[in-house]
């Protein structure tokens, strides 16, 4: 298997030799180090690497170079290798240019010259960038192979599942890849049996179940103990934060997730307003860090596994899982989050998973290459998805009912969208129909006061608000009219709910009407739909768990 490449570019021979030597000393075991002495040569090298399908992990380019500056090199690298990390080498006087490059070239980091000693000023940041790149890097022939039809909803579901758990796999489109036909013949299956998953040991399974895949890959799907101090249900930012703090403070902690870690935030292509990440962080990277942190501190994580019922017995919380197994806990934190609402328009249900996707389907971004795509919604998730897809698609259209994005999207995203030439916002507009045979081919849109128009579309991504994932628990814990869990003062301040709280003390801030049952994150009434607030609530919930367990 080819080693991934680190490309360094500088027109100063001494600086180029120095950075190349530093890179080889630290990274030559796992990466190939290439160095070129001009921006023009770097552009040629990038084109050659693309033509040979070489894996590029990182480009490190000097800013001040004749003919072609570093930012231009990084912008070209972004076009050819969207997932590669990009860093700029600058002198102190160039910091303003570097900051501007964060937007123009989607810069991941910049280094100030000199960086002596590299052990302190170069290697830590580069290790961080390369670790983040490895999260989404898929070696060409390593791990699992998935054979299926591109426009099969079942194939899309399996791709999302494997990507969500950071499992390396190779996708083979049966209609385009000759190798897929050869491999399928060796398994004894027929095209009607697709999708087929081939494991590294040669085992092949047709239309595999996600739970069986998890067991085969060694993912934990069953609890290891009978009683826990706290069980966290849902592994979005709030749930992962609760697991980290619960385990770090000595609580016997179990985290259960029914789909994949990260929740909606986990599928975000770039989160730029989260503290501590000045150039942004992808949802996958943030999830990976939190997942690793929770397990290192001793939290037990099981997935994919679903809690279908919860009851209280002698003060203990008894959770029934989808496979009928039961888990007992002293306290429970509900961080089940929300799911995107479906859009009621002709064709959308039929083409769901075949060009119509709810949320940011990063696994399908490659099908949008040089094709027009549409996004419905004006929130941050829609904006982040638009910026990510703009790297692949010829045009990205954001369809919103309102006059502008200002009411629902953060200012930094609005500014980035305005500066991206292939993104267009369509205000006071609605999608009326999705058209196509086996896959999406066109959408019918209508602007207020105008006749409907049909336009070509390769994909449609829907972000039209959210509904709480609390239907299974609302018969036990009080929810508001929209299904969001009521907690804290909301339970006692309103006479309609006060009778449900029986203890002499007031409920804790994040406590539901069931003592010892807490709620945090987007599924809680009054929560702020931001990653930072979800992490804060998940962490806070553990404080109240401690107080409850001390009673």
Q: Could you tell me if 289 and 336 are in contact, meaning their C-beta atoms sit under 8 angstroms apart?
A: no
How many degrees, rounded to 5, is the angle at CA 333 between CA 330 and CA 335? 160
For residues 426 and 445, what is the distance between their CA atoms, to the nearest angstrom?
Answer: 10
The maximal CA–CA distance of the chain, rounded, in angstroms, is 77
Contact indicator for 517, 331 with CB cutoff of 8 Å: yes
Report the run of H or E that residue 538 belongs to, with start and end. helix 531-549
Q: Which residues of 497-506 are buried (b: 16+ CB within 10 A; e: fewer)?
A: eeeebeeeee
Which pLDDT score is estimated for 104?
65
In order of 234, 393, 550, the CA distances from 519 in angstroms are 11, 39, 19
Residue with tokens 């990440």: 277
Q: Which long-range contacts (CB under 8 A, 24 or more apart) does 111-118 make?
A: 111/60, 111/87, 113/15, 113/89, 115/22, 118/22, 118/26
Let me know: does 413 contact 419? Beta carbons within 8 Å: no
**Average pLDDT per 10 consecutive residues for the chain, totaling 551 residues:** 89 91 93 94 92 88 86 90 89 64 74 85 92 81 83 90 83 88 86 91 88 85 93 96 96 93 78 85 87 94 93 95 94 92 90 88 82 93 91 95 91 94 96 94 95 96 87 92 92 81 92 96 90 95 96 86
Q: Determine the 3-state secondary structure of 481 from DSSP.
A: coil
The DSSP-derived string for 229-242 is EEEEE--SHHHHHH
- Token pair belonging to 527: 């929560």
Helix (H) or strand (E) holding 453: strand 453-456
> Phi and psi at residue 154, in whole multiples of 5°?
-65, -40
What is the structure's pLDDT at 441?
96
Do residues 453 and 468 make contact, with C-beta atoms less than 8 angstroms apart? no
Q: What count of other Cβ atoms lies within 10 Å of the Cβ of residue 550?
A: 6
pLDDT number for residue 466 = 77
Q: Is the dihedral of CA 520, 309, 266, 461 positive or negative?
A: negative
Name the one residue in this structure whose structure tokens are 């200002």: 406
Find tokens 């996958």 and name the residue: 284
Q: Where are the domains of the chain?
A: 5-136, 144-217, 227-339+467-549, 356-464
523 vs 335: CA distance, rounded Å: 7
368 secondary structure, DSSP code: G
Give the Cα separation of 456 and 440 in Å (integer).
9
Specify the 3-state DSSP secondary structure of 493: helix
For the chain, the helix, strand and coil percentages under 3-state DSSP, each to the nearest 5: 35, 25, 40
Of 3.30.465.10, 3.50.40.10, 3.50.50.60, 3.30.413.10, the CATH number of 356-464 is: 3.50.50.60
Contact 69, 63 (CB under 8 A): yes
Residue with tokens 């959770």, as numbered in its chain: 319
Spatial CA neighbour of 108 closest among 277, 269, 273, 275: 277
Give the 3-state DSSP-derived string for 32-53, with helices as H, strands as E and coil as C.
EEEEECCHHHHHHHHHHHHHCC
Measure the CA–CA gap between 147 and 466, rounded to whole angstroms: 33
Superfamily of domain 227-339+467-549: FAD/NAD(P)-binding domain (3.50.50.60)
- What residue spans of 458-525 are helical by DSSP H? 489-493, 495-498
Tokens of 90: 């600058």
Topology, domain 5-136: Rossmann fold (3.40.50)
Thinking of the domain 144-217, which architecture would CATH place it in?
Answer: 3-Layer(aba) Sandwich (3.40)
Strand-strand pairing, 169-173 and 196-198: unpaired
CA-based R_g, the chain, Å: 25
Tally of CB atoms within 10 A around 344: 7
pLDDT at 453: 96
- 227-339+467-549 and 356-464 agree in CATH topology: yes
Chain center to CA of 337 = 15
For β-strands 442-447 and 196-198, DSSP reports them as unpaired
pLDDT of residue 551: 86
Phi, psi of 269 (to 5 degrees): -75, -30
Q: Which residues contact 285 (CB under 8 A, 6 or more apart)?
A: 132, 135
As separate numbers, helices (DSSP H) first and strands (DSSP E) second, the chain gives 17, 26
Q: How far apart are CA 236 and CA 245, in angstroms?
A: 14
CA–CA dist 348, 354 (Å, integer): 10
pLDDT in the model for residue 265: 79
Task: Give the C-alpha separation, 373 to 396, whole Å.
Answer: 5
Instruction: Quote the Cα angle for 212-226-215, to 5°.
Output: 10
């Amino acid at each position: 298997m080819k080693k991934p490449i680190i490309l360094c570019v500088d027109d100063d021979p001494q600086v180029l030799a120095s950075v190349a030597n530093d890179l080889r000393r630290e990274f030559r075991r796992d990466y190939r180090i290439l160095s070129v002495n001009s921006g023009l040569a770097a552009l040629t090298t990038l084109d050659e690497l693309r033509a040979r399908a070489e894996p590029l992990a990182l480009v490190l380019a000097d800013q001040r170079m004749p003919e072609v500056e570093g930012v231009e090199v990084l912008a070209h690298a972004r076009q050819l290798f969207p997932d590669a990390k990009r860093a700029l080498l600058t002198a102190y006087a160039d910091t303003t240019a570097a900051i501007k490059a964060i937007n123009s070239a989607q810069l991941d980091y910049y280094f100030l010259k000199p960086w002596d000693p590299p052990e302190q000023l170069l290697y830590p940041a580069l290790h961080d960038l390369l670790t983040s790149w490895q999260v989404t890097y898929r070696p060409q022939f390593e791990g699992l192979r998935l054979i299926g039809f591109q426009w099969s909803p079942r194939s899309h579901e399996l791709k999302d599942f494997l990507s969500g758990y950071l499992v390396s796999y190779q996708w083979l489109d049966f209609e385009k890849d000759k190798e897929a036909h050869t491999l399928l013949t060796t398994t004894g299956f027929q095209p009607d049996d697709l999708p087929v998953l081939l494991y590294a040991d040669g085992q092949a399974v047709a239309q595999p179940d996600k739970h069986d895949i998890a067991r085969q890959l060694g993912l934990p799907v069953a609890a290891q103990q009978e009683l826990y101090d706290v069980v966290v249900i849902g592994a979005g930012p709030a749930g992962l934060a609760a697991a980290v703090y619960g385990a770090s403070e000595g609580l016997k902690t179990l985290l259960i997730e029914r789909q994949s870690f990260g929740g909606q935030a986990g599928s975000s292509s770039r989160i730029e307003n989260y503290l501590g990440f000045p150039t942004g962080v992808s949802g996958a990277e943030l999830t990976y860090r939190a997942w690793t942190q929770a397990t290192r501190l001793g939290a037990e994580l099981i997935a994919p596994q679903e809690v279908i019922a919860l009851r209280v017995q002698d003060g203990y919380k008894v959770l029934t899982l989808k496979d009928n197994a039961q888990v007992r806990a002293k306290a429970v934190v509900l961080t089940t989050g929300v799911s995107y609402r479906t859009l009621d328009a002709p064709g959308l249900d039929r083409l769901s998973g075949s060009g119509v996707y709810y949320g940011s389907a990063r696994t399908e971004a490659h099908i949008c290459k040089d094709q027009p795509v549409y996004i419905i919604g004006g929130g941050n998730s829609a904006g982040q998805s638009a910026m990510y897809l703009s790297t692949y698609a010829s045009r990205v259209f954001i369809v919103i009912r309102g006059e502008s994005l200002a009411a629902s999207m953060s200012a930094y995203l609005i500014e980035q969208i305005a500066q991206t030439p292939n993104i267009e916002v369509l205000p006071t507009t609605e999608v009326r129909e999705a058209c196509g045979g086996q896959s999406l081919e066109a959408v019918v849109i209508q602007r207020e006061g105008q006749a409907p128009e049909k336009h070509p579309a390769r994909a449609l991504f829907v972000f039209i608000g959210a509904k709480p994932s609390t239907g299974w628990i609302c018969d036990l814990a009080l929810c508001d009219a929209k299904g969001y869990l009521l907690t804290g003062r909301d339970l006692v301040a309103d006479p309609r709910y006060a009778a449900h709280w029986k203890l002499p003390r007031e409920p804790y801030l994040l406590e539901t009407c069931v003592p010892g049952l807490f709620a945090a994150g987007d599924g809680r009434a009054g929560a702020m739909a931001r990653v930072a607030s979800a992490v804060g609530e998940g962490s806070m919930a553990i404080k109240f768990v401690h107080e409850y367990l001390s009673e």
